[in-house]
Structure 1
Amino acid sequence: MIDCLCTGFPGRGRRYWAQALTRLSQRPAVADFPRYGLALEKSGRIVGVVMTLYSLHAGRDGDEVRCNLSSWSVDAGFRPYAAKLVGALLRQKGVTFTNISPAPATLKANEAIGFRLFSNGQFAFVPALNPVRRSCRVLEARCDLAEMALLSESERYTLSEHSALGCLSLICVCDGAVFPFVVVARRIGHGLIPCGQIVYCRSPADLGRCAGTIGRFLLRRGILLCLVDAKERIPGLFGRHFPNRGLRYFKGPKPPQLGDLTFTELVIFGP
């Protein structure tokens, strides 16, 4: 499987894929859905693969199942079977599928099989430029933190799990209210510029409210710039909207909200 992935994604090394498979093996299974994904086999050799990251998300009507399709790779001689490989997964009912890192060459294929955009751009901003509210403070989420009790059960789980996966799971306490955030450190600009990708926030308005306090916290960790999925400029933040960057697609009953990349490849496999 790793050989096939290395062929399809030459920019990633064997260590990256070995870690990805190890982390998938450690994730809790979701019902009877595939733990790793599906493979295309020919004479005992894997010639195609699509990896699946299933997770449960709390919704108004109960838990919703999402599946982040990732690392879709088929060897050159077997490309006609590529759509069938994914098609076998898409027949699952009640699942919202996402593709958060489509290769440019696959965009038409994605749309042909029913994927639609839920985010068509990135907003880059410098949170430290926002003023700091005296009543606001930022805490790193921990199981024994009293403020964790003020969050919903699903948000406590999200913060704890993402912290264990190496993300910055934060709670901003402002005027007696609590706001959860998850940030993953990554690099852009050919790996030269450190930044923080917002993996979870309840709303863009929460970012604007807590940006100054979070910005000072991130500065102490060497992060000046942040990115968040956005369809337009976010009022109250100092930055710029970049359309057609970081395209995110979905297929299924309910698209994820903007700013929610929880339990996707960006977190579990790493940026």
Structure 2
Amino acid sequence: MADPGAPPSDLNCRPIREDDWEGVLDCLRRGFPMRRRKYWMHALARLAERPAIAGCPRYGFALESSGRIVGVVLTLYARYPGREGDEIRCNISSWSVDKAFRPYAMKLIWPVLRRRDVTYTNISPAPSTLNANKALGFRLFASGQFAFLPALSSAQPSCRVLEVRSDLAEMAMLSDSERSILEDHAALGCLSFICVRDGAAYPLVLMPRRILHGLIPCAQIVYCRSLADLGRCAGAVGRILLRRGILLCLVDANGPIAGLFGRYFANKGLKYFKGPKPPSPGDLTFTELVIFGP
């Protein structure tokens, strides 16, 4: 990258505040003109509702010049309790910088990446930012997508699929963290299921969406413990999805998945991470897809 020279003396990067929303919305609309203002307003409102993580910005960072917001990056933080201590992830989203200030776009990212105990993800990188992702130390955790027809997968007679409710007895078969994932994502508009087979319970979260210019309804896998678990439960889940008019599912993957009837598309839907603990393919929990919507 060519040396952009010294940045303007009044160029400042700082956390986004609630009184910045109008300027943030304007900047995002300039950077993503295909998205309506209503979409971005909904995104900021959803971030305002999320639990705060100590030491992390609630909304993200703004690049400001002469009192005007000229760059924005949104940050979606989530805490994951675990036996070895809590894990914090941050989904970096909606990186937008006005053309005149793009030589200084990295100034907007460095404050986000300062914590080494956080795992950062980028699940929708623009083609123009792939080199920047690699330069910043991001690596792939999913190199493609697998499109499959779950109803055509073999259904196990012993597999039961239950839609999540807080009073469901089978919820006790899951860890506290997985129960929280299922309930929180159901509240955010996802389909949350428990698949019970041979005395074991498997959590599954899907996000209904449409592809091919909104013509084809499908469901994106947002959470499963493993892709092998998905293969075990897909047939039974597929029959429930059919009743909702959903035939097709998508899941991030690094190759074909045993037990699923479908096709792997390499280099589609690339997903990147940076940090101590990469997410598994098939784990898009608390990312922009869920919080902001497809």
Same fold (TM over 0.5): yes
**Segments ≥4 residues shifted beyond 2 Å:** none
CA deviations on 1:23-51 (whole Å, 9 max, x unpaired) are: 00000001120000000111221110000
Match of 1:16 among 35, 39, 43: 39
CA deviations on 1:212-235 (whole Å, 9 max, x unpaired) are: 100001111111000111100001
Secondary structure of 1:270's partner? Answer: coil
Alignment partner, residue 194 of structure 1? 217
Match of 2:165 among 132, 142, 162: 142
Give, as a single letter, the amino acid of the residue that structure 1 aligns with 2:259: G
Whether the aligned pair in 1 keeps the contact of 2:116 and 2:276 (CA below 8 Å) is no
How far apart are 1:60 and its partner, in Å?
4.5
How far apart are 1:61 and its partner, in Å?
1.7
Alignment partner, residue 97 of structure 1? 120
Secondary structure of 1:244's partner? Answer: strand
Match of 2:72 among 49, 66, 72: 49
1:155 correspondence with 2:202: no
Counterpart-to-counterpart distance in 1, 2:174 and 2:44 = 31
Counterpart-to-counterpart distance in 2, 1:178 and 1:96 = 27
Match of 1:81 among 75, 79, 104: 104
Give, as a single letter, the amino acid of the residue that structure 2 aligns with 1:216: R
Match of 1:254 among 277, 280, 292: 277
Match of 1:121 among 126, 129, 144: 144
How far apart are 1:93 and its partner, in Å?
2.3
Which structure: larger Rg?
Answer: 2
CA deviations on 1:117-149 (whole Å, 9 max, x unpaired) are: 111000000000012222111111111111111
Alignment partner, residue 51 of structure 2? 28
Identity %, equivalent residues: 70
78-87 or 59-68: bigger deviation: 59-68
Give, as a single letter, the amino acid of the residue that structure 2 aligns with 1:20: A
Alignment partner, residue 107 of structure 1? 130
Counterpart-to-counterpart distance in 2, 1:131 and 1:55 = 35
CA deviations on 1:181-233 (whole Å, 9 max, x unpaired) are: 00001111122111110000001111111111000011111110001111000
CA deviations on 1:47-69 (whole Å, 9 max, x unpaired) are: 10000000012345211110000
Alignment partner, residue 204 of structure 2? 181
Give, as a single letter, the amino acid of the residue that structure 2 aligns with 1:237: L
Counterpart-to-counterpart distance in 1, 2:89 and 2:155 = 36
Alignment partner, residue 210 of structure 1? 233
Counterpart-to-counterpart distance in 2, 1:59 and 1:84 = 33
For normalisation by structure 2, the TM-score amounts to 0.91
Secondary structure of 1:194's partner? Answer: strand
5+ long unaligned stretches in structure 2: 1-23
For normalisation by structure 1, the TM-score amounts to 0.98
Whether the aligned pair in 1 keeps the contact of 2:82 and 2:177 (CA below 8 Å) is no
Match of 1:231 among 229, 254, 266: 254
Alignment partner, residue 84 of structure 2? 61
Counterpart-to-counterpart distance in 2, 1:188 and 1:216 = 21
Counterpart-to-counterpart distance in 2, 1:48 and 1:60 = 39
5+ long unaligned stretches in structure 1: none
Match of 2:187 among 155, 164, 178: 164
- Cα RMSD between the aligned structures? 0.9
186-195 or 227-236: bigger deviation: 186-195
> Number of paired residues?
271
Secondary structure of 1:62's partner? Answer: coil
